[in-house]
Structure 1
Amino acid sequence: MKSVRGYLLTQEFQLFWDYVSPHWAGKYLDRWSIRVMRSKIEPMKKVAKTVRRHKPLILNWFKARKAYSSGKVEGLNTKIKFTTRKSYGFITYRRAEIALYHVLGKLLEPKMTRRFY
């Protein structure tokens, strides 16, 4: 039952992007985050806390009339292309995928059990 409630809450959040006014979008965001916090679904509560922390930055998107800069997207694409170029020597696609996760997600490298000198 929690999975259905979580799915419905994520679908409700999509309505947030239909607002035009930052004021009403902020009110919707507040009501949505209250519902999520009462849902007792821990991963969703974590998302709601993050959204609450970043609320002013999210509402800036409405103040800018839904315009955005594509600079960050271009930077990510450049990183992806560079990592893909480096990963041609990998044996499997899965290893190339892991390399992308490490580059884009800034994941920590696992500790090696052996040292290579």
Structure 2
Amino acid sequence: MKKAGHEPVLKNSRWCLLKRKENLAEKQEIKLKEILRYNLKTIRAYLLKEDFNGFWEYVSPAWAEKFLDRWCIRVMRSQIEPMKKVAKTIRAHKPLILNWFKAKKAFSSGIVEGLNNKAKVTTRNSYGFRTYRGTEIALYHALGNLPAPPMTHRFY
């Protein structure tokens, strides 16, 4: 835009586009209103992102699925390659995403993430073990909260 003689509109506007509208500072709100006047790919991508926030308001898995399908179709027609990549990923994982609605929003993936982190830490700590069986036993003890066998020496 600068080479074409236009004012560099997108300069210093990164956080205006990444933040949620309710979290914008007053200056950022003004900047966002100014930017939204232009028909740039960046602005179209921003509007698609903002539109997707409505997805989390649905209660019914069927309506959520319809919204997801319509949103993905609009993104695929938008000619914005990074957004198309997001839409393809969402389509590939659609059944897993919709499970959240089927579970009535009652379950969080935090428990699973915690177990995955504990498994990674245990695996990282067991790099010195000579066999995989030793790592497997360490994982059983860490994840199953099994008691540690009595040892003659403690090394900590």
TM-score normalised by the chain length of structure 2: 0.47
Write out aligned runs for 1:28-67 (5 A).
Answer: 28-67=67-106
Q: What SS does the aligned partner of 2:97 have?
A: helix
RMSD: 1.8
Q: What SS does the aligned partner of 1:32 have?
A: helix
Equivalenced residue count is: 81
Q: What SS does the aligned partner of 1:40 have?
A: coil
| 1:73 pairs with one of 104, 113, 122 | 113
Deviation string for 1:92-117 (max 9, x for gaps)? xxxxxxxxxxxxxxxxxxxxxxxxxx
- Give the corresponding residue for 1:87: none
- Give the corresponding residue for 2:63: 24
Structure with more relative contact order (C-alpha pairs < 8 Å, separation 6 or more): 1
Quick check: which one's helix share is greater?
A: 1
Runs of 4+ in 1 over 4 A off after TM superposition: 75-79
Q: Residue type matched to 2:46 in 1?
A: Y
Q: Residue type matched to 1:15 in 2?
A: G
Deviation string for 1:66-103 (max 9, x for gaps)? 12242233246669xx7xxxxxxxxxxxxxxxxxxxxx
% identical equivalent positions: 64
Where does structure 1 lack aligned partners over 5 or more consecutive residues?
Answer: 83-117
Q: What SS does the aligned partner of 2:59 have?
A: coil
Rg larger in structure: 2
- Give the corresponding residue for 1:100: none
Where does structure 2 lack aligned partners over 5 or more consecutive residues?
Answer: 1-39, 122-156
Q: Residue type matched to 1:39 in 2?
A: S
